[in-house]
Amino acid sequence: MKLIRIQGRQIELRDEEWELWLREGRIPPHALILGENGRWARADSLESYWRSAPRSATRPEPPPTGLREVLFPKRGFSATELLLALNLLVFGALVMAWGADYMSMLRVTTAEWWRDVREGGAYGWWLPTIFMHAGPGHLGRNMIALLAASGAVEFLAGRRWTIAMYVATGLGAAWVSYAGRGSPPLSVGASGAIFGLLGCTLSFIIRRRRLFHYAQQWKVWRVYVPLFVLLFLPAIANADVRAHAGGFAFGILFGIWLPPHPRIAALAANDPLGDDADGDL
């Protein structure tokens, strides 16, 4: 017997009915099928669906599940590549425009923006600050951290959510930093957004831990979370503490509701240990 959900309706089919419905194209790709492991899966993720589906049905290309394929695709650009490029381009453009006066112009400009925000409510000036940096060293350190933080969110939730979380947590960090400052300038740097992405990653993997098979869950609890606590949490106290802590807090909040990318479901479907390992943490 097969238990199927189609547009909110739950249908129970015998094996021969299941085969007939497949051949007639009556099972849409988005239908949910209850598997032997007690988990619901999309029909188009099952090999049996495509063996019996009408020849006219086109099998979609499965989402890439390799980290390299996700972060450095052969076609198009990943969110991580776009964010890295945008930060580098903004820095390069400002260096070309300001030359040797880069640091003094950065201070003057961000001080003027601070006054615009305080006196005129020009909150839009927070957006460019999350792509600006106080020199090559600041930029280099942040880009290394961004590669790791953005890559984690992009693998777990996808390209669009990564860009959205970078902007949302970066602006949240800029707001917290501004609210805690009594004088100019505005804080600059991607670090608030980076800590936001790290916060998203941490709350996502805790909230969605049952999507991962036992070996992955073991790594989360025995490796990744302790490593994060030891390496990244102390860094919150560096430089602009308010921006780092603010970005991280917004990331924790947003990460709870971040939807998983289909590749996570695909990895779970290929779990060699099935549900026997669930809860064995």
User: Which pLDDT belongs to residue 276?
Assistant: 34
**Backbone CA torsion sign across 68, 70, 229, 128:** positive
Percent over 90 (pLDDT), the chain: 47
**DSSP letters along 230-244, please?**
HHTGGGGGSS-HHHH
Q: Would you state the CATH architecture of domain 67-266? A: Up-down Bundle (1.20)
pLDDT exceeds 70 at position 265? no
pLDDT exceeds 90 at position 186? yes
Read off the pLDDT of residues 248-257 as tens digits, 9 standing for 90 and up: 999 999 999 9
> What residue spans define the domains of the chain?
2-60, 67-266
Percent over 70 (pLDDT), the chain: 78
Lowest mean pLDDT among 7-11, 64-68, 69-73, 102-106: 64-68
Q: What's the CA gap between 106 and 120, in Å, rounded?
A: 20
Nearest alpha carbon to residue 70 among 156, 130, 133, 132: 156
- The H or E element that residue 197 is part of is helix 191-207
Read off the pLDDT of residues 47-89 as tens digits, 9 standing for 90 and up: 777 776 655 455 555 666 677 888 888 889 999 999 999 999 9
| Cross-strand pairs, 32 | 5, 42
Residues written for the chain: 281
Read off the pTM. 0.73
**DSSP letters along 52-65, please?**
HS-TT--PPPPPP-
Nearest alpha carbon to residue 36 among 83, 1, 80, 73: 1
CA–CA–CA angle 268, 274, 276 (5° rounding): 135
**Confidence category of residue 182, pLDDT binned at 50, 70, 90:** confident
